[in-house]
Structure 1
Amino acid sequence: MKICAMTMVYRDYWALAQWYRHYGGHLGPRNLYVIAHGHDPRIAEICPEASIITIPRDELKHFDRVRLRLMNDIQSGLGNVYDWVIQTDTDELVCLNPDQHASFADLFATAEAPVLFGLGLNLAEAKDDPEMPEGANVFSYRKTACVTGNYSKAWAVSNGMALRWHGVFCGYKRAHKFPFVMPDGVFFVHLKHAHRGALEDANEVRQSVAETVGEEWNVTGWAKADFRAKRFFRKLAKAEYLEWDAAIARGYEQIRGNPVRDSERGIVKPPFINYVCRTDLPEWFSRA
């Protein structure tokens, strides 16, 4: 079975290194595709064996919509030569419980739908967490996570279907019945808050872009990036703590059991539930 992973990046170097290490280890680095938003030689240094596609960064108005179409078009093209395409942001890693899935190929061989979702985990740097050495596996240094519906995203496609708004565009007549498949032991981990230093750098870029483009950017979180980061850590601290097994059981109950079926937009996506509960990751994540 042929599998690849793709992402788009602009200067998020720490997350890109994590993305390359993770998916390169699972799929082989030559099956990775990185879309560089503007020429950046550092991307090739971080991802030396990946295929890098550089696109211009001279027009940002409405770029979020352009990015969505571009990513889906490239994903669809890759689907002509790969059986499955993994599509995530640079700070998103899909982790498989090794006791349930030996590999991505093992998971896809038994897939019950052409698009798969993963139970979302927002990984965070806790107050007492040690400093993370450069190049280290994030899961060896970070354990605190929040179960989240917002990041229980669609991430793998087998037939070129378009991913949209954290879900999948399946057509207006199919949204009411399209399968919302979130397999056990498959976790969609969001790394944005897992490294405070990298978060500060990324927020500076987001704020700069929002100020440059103004209302035309149309990405609500970018203009108030620091405020939203502080709010996340504040709400995470107040979230109910559950041990791992209880936490994911609650997550599956609230998220897998309640997909949003938007027939007007033709989309199936996870429910917007940000703080289901707080938990600690088990040790196997450092080997995932």
Structure 2
Amino acid sequence: MQSVAAAVTMVREDAFFLTAWLRHYGGLLGRENCYVVNHGRGDAVARLAEGCNVIGIPGEPHPNFDMKRWRLLNGLVQGLRSYYRQVIVGDVDELVVLDPERGGLLEFLAEQPLRRVLTPVGLEVIHRIDIETAPVGETILGARRHVRPAPHYSKPCVLSLGTKIARGGHFTQASKLFTPEGLYLFHLKFCDFDTYVATMDRRNRVTEEVGVGVREAAIGRHWFPEARGADRAVFEAFAALEMQDGFDLGWLRKRMQRSWKPRGDTGYWQFDRPELPLQYRLPERFNGLF
């Protein structure tokens, strides 16, 4: 039984993403080292996460959902640090991946110095509906081969240091930035058109149940109908992203380092997070990773 790394997430009903999360981290770390907060104590989540450490919590809608969620996740991460060298934390549609040419993720994490926060480069897996017509099957990568750089999802999410994580997981109070070569955070929100539509319908219903507007709620703006836009138009726009040659993200890591600075007087640290109208085709070595 390994004590190198644990993975922590919180989920409500998202069976598609939870299945991918469990396949990825359960396979790499062992299910006994996966911690799933079951928001609402859903039967489907409990069933899928069998063999993991499942923590059931009440699921009543609340306008400060994100604030409450990250208060809980912060506490879990800091507690688990006493038992693991590294703790990975994030949303259920976010997966930390090591480039296969650099070895296995668990072995990589075992070699990392302690008392650090690792920030993978964020990549959104995009469904190019104009050319990727096959549905996702047992695994996502392979059926989906395109990604766009997403600085907003370059999250400080691998921790071996006692520090506070901001709501949303985008910032911590760690003052040094570590962006290891070959370490990525894959965001799956846009990996499949049909799944996106179903997920957004469900999240829109949650915000309706909360009963307050986007300005009054501590919930991601993207959960609200007014921020959704036209679903098919969102996916059709991916074709216009400028295709890049190769798969070298070193330039993005350098940008992150150059723009590293305090986030005002909040105690948190940040780098610039511009929208980048670019896309890459993943090398075949990534196929089937999750």
TM score, norm. by length of structure 1: 0.89
> Offset of 1:9 from its aligned partner?
0.5
CA shift digits 1:68-112 (9 cap, x unpaired): 111111111111211111001100011101222433332342347
Judge conservation of contact 1:97–1:185 (CA < 8 Å) in 2: yes
Aligned partners of 1:83 and 1:190: how far apart in 2?
24
| 1:131 and 2:131 are equivalent in the alignment | no
Indicate the residue corresponding to 1:200 in structure 2. Answer: 197
Among residues 25, 38, 41, which one is paired with 1:39 in the alignment?
41
Q: How does 1:130-169 map to 2 (within 5 A)?
A: 130-134=133-137, 136-164=138-166, 165-169=168-172
Please provide the CA RMSD for this pair. Answer: 2.2
After superposition, the Cα gap between the structure-2 partners of 1:94 and 1:228, relative to the gap in structure 1 and judged at 3 Å, is farther
Q: How does 1:148-227 map to 2 (within 5 A)?
A: 148-164=150-166, 165-170=168-173, 178-213=175-210, 214-215=212-213, 216-218=216-218, 219-224=220-225, 226-227=228-229
Aligned partners of 1:251 and 1:166: how far apart in 2?
20
After superposition, the Cα gap between the structure-2 partners of 1:256 and 1:236, relative to the gap in structure 1 and judged at 3 Å, is farther
What amino acid is the match of 1:200?
V
Q: How does 1:47-62 map to 2 (within 5 A)?
A: 47-62=49-64
Q: Secondary structure at the match of 2:50?
A: coil
Indicate the residue corresponding to 1:78 in structure 2. Answer: 80
CA shift digits 1:46-83 (9 cap, x unpaired): 22211110110124121111111111111111112111
After superposition, the Cα gap between the structure-2 partners of 1:92 and 1:228, relative to the gap in structure 1 and judged at 3 Å, is farther
Indicate the residue corresponding to 2:281 in structure 1. Answer: 280
Indicate the residue corresponding to 1:100 in structure 2. Answer: 102
Indicate the residue corresponding to 1:257 in structure 2. Answer: 258
Aligned partners of 1:62 and 1:144: how far apart in 2?
34
Aligned partners of 1:114 and 1:263: how far apart in 2?
22
Indicate the residue corresponding to 2:272 in structure 1. Answer: 271
Q: Secondary structure at the match of 2:256?
A: helix
Q: Which stretch has the larger CA shift, 190-199 or 111-120?
A: 111-120
After superposition, the Cα gap between the structure-2 partners of 1:28 and 1:199, relative to the gap in structure 1 and judged at 3 Å, is same
Q: Secondary structure at the match of 2:221?
A: coil
What amino acid is the match of 2:64?
H
CA shift digits 1:153-186 (9 cap, x unpaired): 111111332222444432xxxx7xx211111100
TM score, norm. by length of structure 2: 0.88
After superposition, the Cα gap between the structure-2 partners of 1:230 and 1:265, relative to the gap in structure 1 and judged at 3 Å, is farther
Aligned partners of 1:276 and 1:266: how far apart in 2?
31
After superposition, the Cα gap between the structure-2 partners of 1:270 and 1:230, relative to the gap in structure 1 and judged at 3 Å, is farther
Aligned partners of 2:275 and 2:232: how far apart in 1?
15
Q: Secondary structure at the match of 1:58?
A: coil
Aligned partners of 1:229 and 1:249: how far apart in 2?
32
> Offset of 1:287 from its aligned partner?
5.0
Amino-acid identity (%): 26
Aligned partners of 1:252 and 1:199: how far apart in 2?
29
Aligned partners of 1:179 and 1:98: how far apart in 2?
26
> Offset of 1:192 from its aligned partner?
0.4
> Offset of 1:7 from its aligned partner?
0.3
Q: Which stretch has the larger CA shift, 192-201 or 14-23?
A: 192-201
Moved >6 Å (runs of 4+): none
After superposition, the Cα gap between the structure-2 partners of 1:280 and 1:113, relative to the gap in structure 1 and judged at 3 Å, is farther
Q: Which stretch has the larger CA shift, 76-85 or 257-266?
A: 257-266
What amino acid is the match of 1:123?
V
Judge conservation of contact 1:32–1:51 (CA < 8 Å) in 2: yes
What amino acid is the match of 2:133?
P
After superposition, the Cα gap between the structure-2 partners of 1:270 and 1:10, relative to the gap in structure 1 and judged at 3 Å, is farther
Aligned partners of 2:233 and 2:260: how far apart in 1?
26
After superposition, the Cα gap between the structure-2 partners of 1:228 and 1:81, relative to the gap in structure 1 and judged at 3 Å, is farther
- Which consecutive unaligned segments of at least 5 residues does structure 2 have? none
After superposition, the Cα gap between the structure-2 partners of 1:108 and 1:227, relative to the gap in structure 1 and judged at 3 Å, is farther
> Offset of 1:2 from its aligned partner?
2.4
Aligned partners of 1:242 and 1:21: how far apart in 2?
30
> Offset of 1:260 from its aligned partner?
4.4
What amino acid is the match of 1:43?
V
